[in-house]
Structure 1
Amino acid sequence: MRAADPGSADDAPATAADPDEAVPGAPPKRRRAGIQPQPPDDEQRALAAALSPRIWLGTSSWSYPGWQGIVWEGRHGESNLSRNGLGAYAAQPLQRAVSIDRGFYQSLTASQYERYAQQVPEDFRFTVKAPSVVTDAQVRGEDGRGRQTNTAFLDPRLAIQEFIEPALEGLAGRIGALVFQLSPLPLAMLDRMPEQLDRLHAMLAALPSLRDAAPEGVVAVEVRDPEWLTPDFVAVLKDTGARYCLGLHPKLPTIEDQLPLLRAMWPGPLVCRWNLNRLHGPFGYEDAEKKYGEYAEMMDPDPGTRAVLAKVIRATADAGQAAYVTISNHAEGSAPLSLRALARRIVEG
């Protein structure tokens, strides 16, 4: 992660253009300390009040300078937002959850998780991705290509030590979902799916219960290969008490085609991560990043996906179950704006 920008606007004094400075004899006006939330408008407050308390909506991470005027006031550097922006993020009434994605690349410690927990209210919930050392069957180079077999893939001991225990200690009751996102498998492993299912079952069965530390928390599994999506996969999840993480990604079937799997898992909490707009294709993250720039506009609205997802969320909450849903900037161009549009759709019915 980049070092903090010493010239960050957070520490800059107000300029002579400030109204108070235009008055002779008035003391110089300084910016309020720290990262301040953008004041929410009346619609956001009304939507937040209308949503079921069982619905937790959020974004994938929060360190985006382009959210100026949407999530926070003023311009702030990415590193500063990563360290200090979560409190301002959580002050937005609709943003009651967030996905911590950085742990996928390097395991986080209990103290790191605790620092995040201290910045948010008690009713805020985190979706957390497990480290790739556990969830990727390959050791990858800097270009993302698999270089060799990962012998620690779905290792129960490592999953507990590097993910479950630190998250429980640091986040405790603020855990929404602990997600094992399984990276694409090499062809040789896809040809032996029963072996992979057995391995997944062994890991999930070995995990400690979240109930005592995080009564509303769940363990969930997200995949990138449609070959996982079988009745045997459902049986593994149900037998171990894990949930299916609805992954909205071009590598997987559409949300409509994934609904039978959700029905097979019913009843239970909903975990969903809306990752990438289908128009970009299965390998379209780079194209999405180039097109969406600073993520300040909804550039590729997907009302069809939003309508179906809203219906699933509403039905889940109406049945008394929790719904943990996070949205990426790559879904429609700006995750906070997607979140507001989704909330509007849920409330409108």
Structure 2
Amino acid sequence: MQDDLFGSPEAPTPPVPSRHSTRPTKADAPEAAEHAAPPAPRKRSSRVTAMAHDDALTALAAALPRQLRLGTSSWTYPGWKGLVWEGEHSDTQLSKQGLAVYAQHPLMRTVSIDRSFYRPLTVSQYESYASQVPDDFRFVVKAPSVVTDALVRSEDGRGRQANPAFLSPELARSECVEPALQGLGHKLGALVFQLSPLPLAQLDRLPLLLERLRTMLLALPALAPTAPDGVIAVEVRDPEWLTPDFAAVLREAGATYCLGLHAKMPPLQQQLPMLRALWPGPLVCRWNLNPVHGPYGYEEAERLYAPYDRLHHPDLPTRAELARVIAGITRRGQNAFVTISNHAEGCAPLTVRGVAEEVAAVLTAAPR
């Protein structure tokens, strides 16, 4: 396979941030008068309504390939007012009404259902999600941790003891694939098995784990014809997985590698050999955490980035590299499912727009 499909090894010169890439900070506003009256309390609306979108955003969405589905990780963030919806809303209200409004955003054609990682969802819960989005919308679903964690988690989220259900074919099928497939139908895009960081004792036995992974993947039911765009993807949090043997297991099972942009993993360019080894095939990418926070920096990112209403750490080189990968794959007719967390740069909707602008620029510059 040609390397130019995923871009050359040299990263491009970071582009100048667009006028849409950041939002004003408090420092940008004029200083308030010394004795100004306190602002009136903001009222929350009883209904969530979509934000009116400018012509530039609509034109940008139209310039993107139909095979590309960009989106975010979940949708229940009150700080996205003025970006996705109008007015003040609680996260509880957004969990009930926000998805339908989110799906009206011109760039949001997928979303990652992250809550399924913590507790398996039912067919009726998936059906409810599917009923709220357009026909062309596709979901990215995280498999439950009971299958993907090598250790059983305690209440504080830390692994304490070996998980006997790790990579269980039976649970993977009954607790993840079958409910998602039945509930979402053709709107199922990617089922992601995120294998959490392994304890050192298991990292030393990767060949055994690869065989367990192979057994699980081969036991899963086919997603087509119910979900023609559906793909099984495996995301890892230990770079030791990234070997030809891992790629061979995925290829045999008809699965793909989930490109995981996370501080525990090598940079994007160093993960591309996995995609090349599995070509041709779709792209599944989850941009999870900015490396400035280190491999265990989720809590730090949450403290700094909340309420997720502006960009704090724009990662322009990653945007540019990811755009080149997206353009290379979609130009050849393959689907791309790309979901972005608030922890990537501080505000997922703004990062989505930044990536979309980069993709449009790459496609415009490509020779015809």
Structure 1 length as normaliser, TM-score?
0.91
Contact 1:8–1:77, Cα closer than 8 Å, also in 2: no
Letter in 2 for 1:216: D
The aligned counterpart of 1:169 is 182
Q: Distance in 2 between matches of 1:312 and 1:255?
A: 10
Specify the alignment match of 2:56 in structure 1: 43
What letter is aligned with 2:136?
D
Percent identity for Structure 1 against Structure 2:
62
Aligned twin of 2:328 = 315
Q: Give the structure 1 partner of residue 138 of structure 2.
A: 125
1:10 corresponds to: 45
Query: What's the CA shift for 1:43?
Result: 1.4
Deviation at 1:8, TM superposition (A): 7.8
Distance in 1, Cα, partners of 2:300 & 2:201:
29
Give distance in 2, aligned partners of 1:8 and 1:171.
35
Gaps of 5+ in 2: 1-41, 363-368
Is 1:116 matched up with 2:151? Answer: no
SS in 2 for 1:10: coil
Q: Distance in 2 between matches of 1:326 and 1:291?
A: 21
Q: CA deviation at 1:10?
A: 2.7
3-state secondary structure, aligned to 2:184? helix
Aligned to 2:283: 270
The answer to whether residue 190 in structure 2 is matched with residue 190 in structure 1 is no
Is 1:222 matched up with 2:235?
yes
Residues 1:158 and 2:171 are matched in the alignment = yes
User: 1:4 matched to which residue of 2?
Assistant: none
Structure 1 residue corresponding to 2:268, chosen from 255, 272, 276: 255
Residue number in structure 2 paired with 1:143: 156
What secondary structure is seen at the aligned counterpart in 1 of 2:120?
Answer: coil
1:226–1:252 contact (8 Å) kept in structure 2? yes
SS at match of 1:9: coil
* Equivalent position SS for 1:272: strand
TM-score normalised over the length of structure 2: 0.86
Supply the AA of the counterpart residue of 2:276: R
TM-superposed deviation, 1:140:
1.2
**For 2:52, what is the secondary structure of its paired residue?**
coil
The equivalences for 1:280-299 within 5 A come to: 280-299=293-312
Distance 1:206 1:8, change over 3 A: farther
CA distance in 2, matches of 1:251, 1:244: 16
Deviations 1:54-101 (A, max 9, x none): 000000000000001110001110011012110100000100110000
Deviation, structure 1 residue 144: 2.3
SS of the residue corresponding to residue 214 of structure 1 reads coil
Q: Given the alignment of the two structures, is residue 68 of structure 1 paired with residue 103 of structure 2, yes or no?
A: no
Structure-1 separation of matches of 2:158 and 2:352: 32
Distance (whole Å) between structure 1 residues aligned to residue 360 and residue 172 of structure 2: 38
Following the alignment from structure 1 to structure 2, what is the Cα–Cα distance between the partners of residues 97 and 41? Answer: 21
Instruction: Tell me the amino acid that sits aligned with residue 9 of structure 1.
Output: R
Asked whether the equivalents of residues 221 and 242 of structure 1 are also in contact (C-alpha less than 8 Å), the reply is: yes
The one of the two structures with greater contact order (alpha-carbon pairs below 8 A, sep at least 6) is 2
Deviant stretches of 4+, over 3 Å: none
SS for the counterpart of 1:221 is strand
- Is contact 1:35–1:72 with CA below 8 Å preserved after alignment? yes
8 Å contact kept, 1:136–1:182: yes
Q: What residue in structure 2 maps to residue 203 of structure 1? A: 216
Q: What's the Cα RMSD here?
A: 1.0
Equivalent in the alignment of 2:113: 100
Q: How far off is 1:148 after superposition?
A: 1.1
Offset of residue 317 of structure 1: 0.6
Offset of residue 265 of structure 1: 1.2
Q: 1:334 pairs with 337, 344, 347, which one?
A: 347
Report the 3-state secondary structure (helix = DSSP H, G, I; strand = E; otherwise coil) of the residue aligned with 2:318.
helix
Q: Tell me, in whole angstroms, the C-alpha distance in 1 between the residues paired with 2:158 and 2:309.
A: 31
Please give the alpha-carbon distance, in whole angstroms, between the structure 2 residues aligned to 1:129 and 1:345: 27
Aligned-partner residue type, residue 207 of structure 1 = L
1:234-259 Cα offsets, whole Å, 9 max, x none, are: 00000000010000001000001111
> CA separation of 1:208/1:151 partners in 2, compared to 1, >3 Å: closer, same or farther?
same
Equivalent positions of 1:12-31 (< 5 A) are: none
Distance 1:145 1:210 in 2: 32
Q: Deviations over 1:102-160 (max 9, x none)?
A: 00000000000000000000100100000000000110112222211110001001001
CA–CA separation in structure 2 for the residues paired with 1:8 and 1:252: 43
CA pair 61-242 structure 1, distance change in 2 beyond 3 A: same
- Assess if the C-alpha contact under 8 Å between 1:114 and 1:171 holds in 2: yes
Q: Would the aligned equivalents of 1:134 and 1:153 in 2 still touch at CA under 8 Å?
A: yes
Residue identity matched to 1:153? F
Q: Does 1:178 align with 2:213?
A: no
Name the CA distance, whole Å, in 2 between partners of 1:134 and 1:125: 23
Is 1:77 aligned with 2:112? no
Partners of 2:157 and 2:90 in 1: how far apart?
A: 27
Partner of 1:144, secondary structure, is: coil
